[in-house]
Amino acid sequence: MRKINRIFVRGHWSLPELLNGYKELFVNHIHPDDMYDEEKSRIVHFEPDVGTIEWPEPDLPESAGAFNEDLCAFFGAYLGFLSACRDVKKVFKPFVTDTLHRDSAFPDTHALAKMFDDFEVREGHPFQKMKCRMSRFAYRPQRDADGQMIFCEQIDFLDLRSFLYYDFWNGLRLNRLPTKCGQCGRFFLLEGGKYSRYCLHPLTDEPGKTCRDVGSKRRYDDRCKTDPVWQIYNRAYKTHYARYMKMKMTAGEFESWSRHASELRDRAAGDLISFEAYCGEIRR
């Protein structure tokens, strides 16, 4: 799918710029020599003009009220950014790493709804507490880079959290699954097609290969080195494979043995059978 999404950020300005919009509220706001030069009359020291104002100064309350609103919006954007970062770490990330991939597959709509519900109940409804705030929603035909007409959604979000909430769930509905690479640990997006736990990033030690090329194999090797259940499985697999190569087992027998063995291994890994029973059983 072509990348056609665009993000526009509005109301992005610096604090001195904002303060200079309300010069009348500060001491020495216009130097007499620079009175007619807008650029030169910019102030850099902001000392509230409380001493010289005669109360009630007729224009001040309105201007001060607007200033207060602008200042709240300015810091509100930063606070919104921080709380969105917190949500990513405390809510989105655990949902992705602990719940979303529990079936190791692209979830259909029922599975996704079930995961959503399970997570909400278990974690105290964190997604429900996020209010997705939009000020405008519209459909718009647009031309893409090739001049083709495309159907677009245009949404004005009131804060970053709202954008993340919408983008995350809308993406999941469209089968775009964020996931954490089991090899390099980076987050990446699975977009339809084959499900994988590994990304397509080149490896640092072997740039010609990606995490996906080697992930499963390395994970298998690591497990066989460190996990007794996998060690036993690997040894039994090698013995049975050798039997098959020496034609002491048919292809069908070997296949049914390996299916049985991987089931046993998963049951032993999940503590559903004892380690001793597993060792005895898998060698048969």
DSSP category for residue 266: H
Tell the smallest beta-carbon distance from residue 203 to Zn ion (Å).
8
Tell the smallest beta-carbon distance from residue 188 to Zn ion (Å).
7
Tell the smallest beta-carbon distance from residue 215 to Zn ion (Å).
7
**Closer residue to Zn ion, CB minimum distance, 186 or 225:** 186
Residue with tokens 């959604």: 153
- Identity of the amino acid at 167: D
Contact 99, 119 (CB under 8 A): yes
Largest separation between any pair of C-alpha atoms in the chain: 104
**Closer residue to Zn ion, CB minimum distance, 176 or 201:** 201
Retrieve residue 197's tokens: 């736990």
Give the separation between CA 178 and CA 97, rounded to whole angstroms.
9
Tell the smallest beta-carbon distance from residue 233 to Zn ion (Å).
25
Tell the smallest beta-carbon distance from residue 175 to Zn ion (Å).
20
Give the separation between CA 151 and CA 166, rounded to whole angstroms.
18
Retrieve residue 189's tokens: 């997006």
Tell the smallest beta-carbon distance from residue 110 to Zn ion (Å).
30
**Closer residue to Zn ion, CB minimum distance, 29 or 212:** 212
**Closer residue to Zn ion, CB minimum distance, 88 or 184:** 184
Contact 181, 201 (CB under 8 A): yes
**Closer residue to Zn ion, CB minimum distance, 201 or 218:** 201
Give the separation between CA 172 and CA 278, rounded to whole angstroms.
39
The residues binding Zn ion (CB under 5 A) are 181, 183-184, 199, 201, 211
Strands (E), the chain: 134-143, 149-157, 176-180, 187-191
Q: Which of 96, 84, 262 is nearest to 181 (CA)?
A: 96
Name residues whose C-beta falls within 8 Å of residue 70's C-beta, 6 or more positions apart in sequence.
18, 21, 22
Reduced to 3 states (helix: H, G, I; strand: E, B; else coil), residue 39 is: coil
Contact 140, 154 (CB under 8 A): yes
**Closer residue to Zn ion, CB minimum distance, 86 or 186:** 186
155 strand-pairing partners? 137
**Closer residue to Zn ion, CB minimum distance, 181 or 232:** 181
Tell the smallest beta-carbon distance from residue 159 to Zn ion (Å).
31
**Closer residue to Zn ion, CB minimum distance, 84 or 211:** 211
